[in-house]
Amino acid sequence: MSVKIEVIEGGMPHTNIMIGGLVVSVICIYLTYLNVLTGTQLFAFFGGLGAIAAIVWGSHTIKHLCSYGIGTGVPSAGMMAFGSGLIAMLFATRYGVAAPIVAIILAAVIGAILGYVANNILSMHIPVMIQSLVEMAVIGALTLMGFAAMMTGSFELSSMTVGQVTILGLSLPSYQASLLGGALLATVFMLGGIAIQHPFNACLGPNWTQDRMLMLAAECGFLSMIPAAVMSMALVSMPAALISLIVSLVGWYYTYANYIVLSKRDAAEWLDAKPIPELEGH
């Protein structure tokens, strides 16, 4: 038996964050379906917001798991999440409208088997191992699906594999100019992976506070959303991509400013140091 050495003091219980993250993420990803209903691509940015909700939830799950001392470092949990989530997410995109639900169920099954393997066959014996790996796989799948929905305007396999190439004013379907054909999903994989593992890695320690870590997670999510929005210019219409970019920039600035405020609050003391003044006449 391993000993839990870092308890969560104060703040919201993990269950609330899990339910909140799951519900917000699924709703936001489904809101991108408005694109299909209204015939535009302007609602694509909801996918990015869904991914950020999953990232915020994910950072707390990593905190929950790593407080038992898994010994492998925090980034490994993020890599595990995306490795297993990616497989579930790509398979689920075949199922059209039901894709997010299928992704959640399949990711949970894969996560449960991986959790059993890690906990029992590898004798980790960590009480929250299976639950955490289930959550991590779901989080990985939802984050990737959210960003993919944001970059293509839809969460279906057909829109991720077929893009448009304009040659001499003629618009032609192309498999190469798409999210999968252009391997943009590999970039999203790393953008999400870094965003999910960084918050707890940066905030862990004796003065860990929940709101500061979650704010940093949201900040990292918006930071990853900015390059995703830039990349989406190649795949969705320019107004939709610009809306995503503006939402991500505004969200990033807001969360970053708040994170700095919270960091100053939690610091023992801080000095607003100025650059070395250039003194003249000496």
- Residue pair 89/100 in contact by the 8 Å Cβ criterion: no
Out of 16, 19, 23, 69, the residue judged to bind another protein by CB under 8 A: 69
Out of 18, 114, 191, 231, the residue judged to bind another protein by CB under 8 A: 114
Q: Please state, in angstroms and rounded to a whole number, the distance separating the CA atoms of residues 81 and 59.
A: 11
Q: Contact letters (x/-) for another protein, 196-225, by CB under 8 A?
A: --------xxx-------------------
Retrieve residue 194's tokens.
């870094």
Residue placing its CB nearer to another protein in the complex, 93 or 244:
93
Q: Is 87 in the site for another protein (CB under 8 A)?
A: yes
Q: Please state, in angstroms and rounded to a whole number, the distance separating the CA atoms of residues 154 and 30.
A: 9
Least Å distance, CB 204 to another protein, is 6
Least Å distance, CB 9 to another protein, is 14
Least Å distance, CB 31 to another protein, is 26
Residue placing its CB nearer to another protein in the complex, 49 or 80:
80
Residue placing its CB nearer to another protein in the complex, 204 or 233:
204
Using alpha carbons, select from 60, 59, 54 the residue that is nearest to residue 85. Answer: 54
Out of 44, 103, 118, 223, the residue judged to bind another protein by CB under 8 A: 118
Retrieve residue 99's tokens.
């894709």
Q: Contact letters (x/-) for another protein, 173-192, by CB under 8 A?
A: --xx-x-xxxx-xx--x---
Helix pair 75-92, 99-116: axis angle to 10 deg: 140
165 beta partners: 172
Q: Please state, in angstroms and rounded to a whole number, the distance separating the CA atoms of residues 49 and 21.
A: 11
- Residue pair 191/144 in contact by the 8 Å Cβ criterion: no
State which H helix or E strand residue 222 sits in. Answer: helix 210-232
Q: Is 275 in the site for another protein (CB under 8 A)?
A: no
For CA atoms 224, 230, 236, 242, the dihedral sign is positive
Residue placing its CB nearer to another protein in the complex, 4 or 42:
4
Q: Which stretch binds another protein (CB under 8 A): 45-53, 106-114, 148-156, 223-231?
A: 106-114
164 beta partners: 173
Q: Is 128 in the site for another protein (CB under 8 A)?
A: no
Retrieve residue 237's tokens.
């219409």
Least Å distance, CB 103 to another protein, is 11
Q: Please state, in angstroms and rounded to a whole number, the distance separating the CA atoms of residues 189 and 186.
A: 5
Out of 70, 108, 234, 249, the residue judged to bind another protein by CB under 8 A: 70
**236-to-38, 60, 137, 168 alpha-carbon distances in Å:** 15, 32, 28, 19
Q: Is 86 in the site for another protein (CB under 8 A)?
A: yes
Residues making contact with another protein (CB under 8 A): 1-3, 5-6, 66-77, 79-80, 82-84, 86-88, 90-91, 94, 106, 110, 113-114, 116-118, 120-126, 161, 175-176, 178, 180-183, 185-186, 189, 204-206
